[in-house]
Amino acid sequence: LQQKSAETPHDFEVVFYTDNCTGQNKNKFVIALYAYALKQLPNLMSITHKYLIKGHTQNEGDSIHSVIERNVKRALKSGPIYTPLQYSQIIRDARKKNPPFDVKDLCHRDFKDLAAFTGNNFTTNTECEKIHFSDIKIIKLSKNETNKFEYKTSYSDNAFKTIVLKTMSSRSKRSSQELKEKKLEVTLKPAYTRACGIPAKKRYDLLKLFDKRIIPMAYIPRLLQKFMNAVHFAFT
């Protein structure tokens, strides 16, 4: 979304289509991140997420996985794959005729802590009805109202229902206008302050792969110095 915003000189809206995987696509973190994106990106006006009906979830993006899988198998015929960066290049090269797949290599600094989102309301609508994420078919967030999201539990529904993300304190009574103006205030903090650790035993096993020449000696300067010295022990 950041890249799309930077490349687009005018206001734009986004519609996502995915399956119903709760862990990946349909949860409070996804909704809160949409609200955060709408606040941060000046020309992003709205985000709509449509969850495909079970049994009809195949979309054009699914073909990407088979293209990548074939290229990985092709690469393995010429030798083992030792590093994640090798996978990055294999994925970029998987599509020959069109522009290559855009692969973003991430490090620990790119991951954010989403714990600040967990205290908000995601399950009770303005009619005091409880809603389960598994029942939602469409969600929509708009730039001017990032303190709430709209949803439908059926594609045949004529109107959206609304859930206010940031609820009022039970100790104070505020006007409906004050609640409407109350925004979801979240600052994303880094999830990690340094490279993620690995158990000492795993580090030992990796070093043994070098000792036994299972990983070629040519990889030692690049892997042993940059990787082994970068990660710390997660356990003693």
**Domain residue ranges in the chain:** 2-58+111-189, 197-236
- Of 197 and 124, more confident: 124
pLDDT at 186: 60
**Closest CA relative to residue 219, chosen from 71, 81, 92:** 81
β-strand partners of 147: none
Residue with more model confidence, 165 or 68: 68
From CA 142, how far away is CA 59, in angstroms rounded?
A: 25
- According to the model, what pLDDT value does residue 173 have? 45
User: What pLDDT band is residue 208 in, cutting at 50, 70 and 90?
Assistant: confident
Average pLDDT taken over every residue of the chain:
82
Q: For the segment 135-189, what is each residue's pLDDT rounded down to a tens digit?
A: 999 999 999 888 899 999 999 999 999 999 875 455 444 544 454 445 555 678 8
Q: What is the pTM of this model?
A: 0.75
Residue with tokens 């809160």: 32
Which ranges of 168-215 does DSSP label H, i.e. alpha helix? 176-181, 200-211
DSSP letter, residue 70: H
Dist. CA 28–CA 133, nearest whole Å: 9
User: What is the per-residue DSSP string for 126-163?
Assistant: TTS-B--GGG--EEEEEGGGTTEEEEESSTT-SS-EEE
On the question of pLDDT at 209 being above 70, the answer is yes
Q: Is the pLDDT of residue 36 over 60?
A: yes
pLDDT band at 62 (very low <50, low <70, confident <90, very high): confident
Give helix 84-92 / helix 62-77 axis angle, nearest 10°.
120
9 vs 221: which has the higher pLDDT: 9
Poorest-pLDDT segment among 38-42, 212-216, 226-230: 226-230
